[in-house]
């Protein structure tokens, strides 16, 4: 029994270590903030890593091997859904138990949501407006730092958010809606049942949804009632839920304890910050000439990608005909580039032959896609930590379809001795957050390239970027339209089709700022 407990404890600590290794400085700051109401502020000030927070939570018995829900909730709140599976949770499972087990207060949720929606430009304006409240030598590092300072000075509390309202009226009405939603829900009278009879929130304005979960437990009938007020406001629907027990006694002996209220703040998907002076670097690797073949039409793709990403504000660098060794070396060079720290994102486009989970160098040797992407994890490239890394790959992921007369494919006859196993798309993408991998085709199939007009996938990608970025669409919405475009195409024979496939661990929406210049084509 003792050995079994030791094994459980070891596994639990290994889980915490693995999660900690995937959390960067920005994530640790967010976790500290969300734990402010749970842990002593002085102890939190000494936190340097996620492991430090985990130790504090364990010391206060908020976290142990048998109950990891609080950590799951924290990861959910910072939108790091890909790590939930390490604890045996999914996003949906956490949502299901938040009402019952959630510990992060509505006030703390609201402040965190605000910080996530405050851009660098907004932050500068807010600091200017609040300068009389700020220490003269104080240097603002983030929106969270500013909120913490206001709390320390007593200017901001769960019962008084007036200073935030005054600022948001000037800086951003959208931010004001977040505060209004918090106040509207918090404003319900939670002392007993009197709120039911107030004119503004009486039964006249309410839809009563009764979800009866009847279970005989300790001689008590448990009933959950959900009261939903249809407010009709832009904030949407506020839901108040309460639990009470109906005991099997005569009616006049029913006991109705004071209801316990829960608040579920809507998880609005925020966007990655893309308002820096420098957007980021875009690498284009264009492999045309192989030992036994030539990828005709690929230069058309490379030229179009260069035009479009330059238009989008990226600093584009194109490399042609790289061997497998050259590709690995190039990734290592860009991995260590210090200039990433001043950029908002990183993009890499690879045009080559490929096989399942890999692309080919011009020497016809494979390079695993996972290996390429692993150079840019937070641990390997801290300058890009918490920033979006996008990889677009035009290459086959198999060779099941033979090329027709007028259409070429990006399949290369593989050297089976160099590939003992296949790698699926989801095995290729790193487990940590902020990556997107968009492949021209699903695993096991070829992708098509016109020998004069370029590949179906890259031409559709460039076309949709030019069409939809000016409309403010995010990258996943754009890739969905790319899928639709490519899926409609057929080869000259009328029988060959293709379907692109994205995989991602993005935590926010990725939206390119709308260029001032017209699209290049």
Give the per-residue pLDDT at 382: 87
Give the per-residue pLDDT at 261: 35
Enumerate the H helices of 297-405 as residue ranges. Answer: 298-311, 324-335, 369-374
**d(C-alpha 287, C-alpha 294), whole Å:** 9
Torsion sign across C-alpha atoms 427, 398, 495, 498: positive
> Which residue out of 353, 381, 450, 462 is catalytically annotated?
353
* Contact status, residue 313 vs residue 350, Cβ threshold 8 Å: no
Residue 34 lies in a domain: yes
Enumerate the H helices of 130-289 as residue ranges. Answer: 143-152, 162-171, 173-186
> Could you report the per-residue pLDDT of 361-378, keeping only the tens digit for each?
999 899 998 889 999 988
Which residues neighbour 230 within 8 Å (Cβ) at sequence distance 6 or greater? 205, 206, 207, 237
Residue 375 lies in a domain: yes
**Count of residues making up the chain:** 521
Which residues neighbour 502 within 8 Å (Cβ) at sequence distance 6 or greater? 436, 437, 438, 439, 476, 479
- Longest CA–CA span in the chain (Å) reads 90
Same domain, 390 and 471: yes
**d(C-alpha 425, C-alpha 471), whole Å:** 29
State yes or no: is 133 an active-site residue: no
Residue 262 lies in a domain: no
> Count of CB atoms within 10 A of residue 271's CB?
15
Residue 291 lies in a domain: yes
Give the per-residue pLDDT at 385: 87
Same domain, 181 and 320: no
With vertex at residue 459, the alpha carbon angle to CA 454 and CA 462, rounded to the nearest 5 degrees, is: 140
Same domain, 61 and 86: yes
CATH number of the CATH domain containing 74: 1.10.533.10
**Beta sheet of 315-320, edge-to-edge order:** 315-320, 278-286, 343-351, 389-394, 435-439, 501-504
> Which residue out of 348, 349, 381, 396 is catalytically annotated?
396
Q: Assign residue 61 a region (left: φ > 0; alpha: ψ between -120 and 50; beta: otherwise).
A: left
Same domain, 232 and 329: no
Same domain, 433 and 461: yes
Residue ranges for the chain with pLDDT beneath 50: 189-267, 401-409, 413-426, 444-449, 492-495
Residue 255 lies in a domain: no
Same domain, 74 and 118: no
Residue 277 lies in a domain: no
Give the per-residue pLDDT at 201: 35
**d(C-alpha 25, C-alpha 27), whole Å:** 5
Among 38, 176, 44, which Cα is nearest to 110's?
176
Same domain, 392 and 487: yes
Same domain, 96 and 223: no
pTM, rounded to two decimals: 0.55
Among 305, 436, 428, 318, which Cα is nearest to 374's?
428
State yes or no: is 396 an active-site residue: yes
CB burial string 66-103: b at 16+ within 10 A, e below = eebbbbbbbbbbbbbbbbbebbebebeebeeebbeebe
Number of domains observed in the structure of the chain: 4
Query: What is the domain range of residue 228?
Result: 209-240
Which residues neighbour 336 within 8 Å (Cβ) at sequence distance 6 or greater? 381
> Could you report the per-residue pLDDT of 396-452, keeping only the tens digit for each?
755 554 343 334 445 554 443 333 344 444 455 555 789 999 987 655 444 444 555
Residue 379 lies in a domain: yes
Bridge partners of 208, per DSSP, are 227
Same domain, 315 and 448: yes
């Amino acid at each position: 029994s003792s050995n079994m407990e030791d094994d459980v404890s070891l596994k639990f600590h290994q889980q915490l270590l693995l999660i900690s290794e995937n959390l960067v400085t920005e994530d640790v700051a967010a976790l500290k903030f969300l734990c402010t109401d749970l842990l002593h502020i002085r102890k939190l000030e000494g936190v340097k890593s996620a492991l430090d927070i985990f130790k504090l939570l364990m010391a206060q018995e908020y976290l142990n091997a048998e109950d990891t829900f609080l950590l799951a909730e924290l990861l959910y709140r910072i939108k790091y859904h890909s790590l939930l599976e390490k604890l045996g949770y999914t996003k949906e499972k956490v949502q299901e138990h938040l009402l019952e087990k959630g510990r992060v207060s509505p006030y703390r949720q609201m402040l965190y949501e605000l910080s996530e929606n405050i851009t660098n430009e907004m932050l500068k304006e807010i600091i200017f407006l609040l300068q009389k409240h700020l220490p003269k030598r104080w240097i603002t590092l983030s929106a969270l730092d500013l909120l913490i300072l206001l709390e320390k000075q007593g200017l901001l509390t769960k019962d008084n958010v007036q200073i935030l309202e005054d600022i948001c009226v000037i800086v951003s009405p959208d931010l004001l809606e977040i505060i209004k939603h918090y106040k509207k829900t918090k404003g319900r009278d939670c002392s007993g049942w009197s709120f039911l009879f107030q004119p503004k929130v009486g039964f006249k304005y309410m839809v009563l949804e009764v979800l009866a979960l009847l279970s005989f437990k300790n001689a008590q009938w448990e009933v959950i009632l959900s009261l939903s007020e249809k407010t009709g406001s832009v904030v949407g629907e506020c839901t108040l839920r309460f639990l009470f027990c109906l005991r099997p006694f005569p009616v006049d002996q029913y006991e109705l304890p004071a209801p316990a209220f829960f608040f579920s703040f809507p998880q609005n998907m925020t966007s990655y910050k893309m308002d820096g002076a420098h957007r980021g670097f875009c690498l284009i690797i264009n492999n045309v000439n192989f030992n036994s073949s030539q990828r005709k039409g690929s230069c058309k793709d490379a030229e179009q990608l260069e035009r479009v990403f330059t238009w989008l504000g990226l600093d584009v660098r194109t490399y042609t005909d790289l061997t497998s060794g050259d590709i690995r070396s190039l990734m290592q060079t860009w991995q260590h580039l210090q200039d990433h720290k001043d950029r908002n994102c990183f993009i890499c486009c690879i045009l080559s032959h490929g096989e399942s989970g890999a692309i080919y160098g011009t020497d016809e040797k494979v390079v695993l896609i996972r290996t390429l992407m692993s150079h840019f994890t937070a641990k390997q490239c801290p300058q890009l930590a918490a920033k979006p890394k996008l990889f677009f790959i035009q290459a086959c992921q198999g060779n099941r379809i033979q090329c027709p007369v007028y259409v070429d494919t990006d399949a290369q006859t593989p050297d089976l001795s160099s590939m003992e196993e296949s790698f699926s798309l989801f095995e290729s993408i790193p487990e940590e957050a902020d990556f997107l991998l968009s492949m021209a085709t699903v695993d096991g199939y070829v992708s098509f390239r016109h020998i004069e007009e370029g590949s179906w996938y890259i031409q559709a990608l460039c076309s949709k970027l030019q069409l939809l970025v000016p409309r403010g669409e995010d990258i996943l919405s754009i890739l969905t339209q790319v899928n639709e475009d490519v899926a409609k195409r057929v080869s000259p024979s009328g029988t060959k089709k293709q379907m692109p496939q994205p995989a991602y661990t993005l935590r926010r929406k990725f939206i390119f700022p709308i260029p001032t210049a017209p699209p290049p084509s």
